Amino acid sequence: MNKKLIILPVLIVLLTLPIITLAGELSTDSCVLLPGAPPQDPATWFGCIIIRFIDIVAWPIFGGVIVIMSIWAGLLLVTAHGDVTKTTTGKKAFITIIVGILIVVVGYSAYNIIKKVIGV
């Protein structure tokens, strides 16, 4: 019972952290270089590359991996037919998926918090 009382507030904080950090997300409008505009400084240019990489490459790959792993874990549970070892393997796969999602969400939130504190 005490474990559930600890997990619930932690889960609420972890779920609201991305919303809080992304509330004032940096606009990618600063990454658009219009013709005739002065060139960007290297820090802004590199920041734009990172933002574009995360938006275009990292999030779709992350989402695809999560979907594939979820289907795989579901198939493990469905095909277990009551076998304890296969059921345990399926449960461990789902726990691994959830932990992976939490690590990515907390990491991205920490990145945004640090970025806002530094003022970049």
Asked whether the beta carbons of 14 and 99 are under 8 A apart, the reply is no
Spatial contact of 55 and 48, defined as CB atoms under 8 Å apart: no
At CA 65, angle to CA 87 and CA 11, rounded to 5? 70
- Please state, in angstroms and rounded to a whole number, the distance separating the CA atoms of residues 80 and 96: 18
pLDDT of residue 89: 94
Predicted confidence at residue 25, as pLDDT, reads 56
Question: What pLDDT sits at residue 47?
Answer: 78
pLDDT for 8: 74
Residues 6+ apart with CB under 8 A from 82: none
Residues, the chain: 120
Residue spans per domain, the chain: 40-120
Which pTM value belongs to this model? 0.65
Give the per-residue SS3 of 54-73: HHHHHHHHHHHHHHHHHHHH
Q: Which of 8-17, 21-30, 31-40 has the lowest mean pLDDT?
A: 21-30
Residue 88 has pLDDT above 80, yes or no: yes
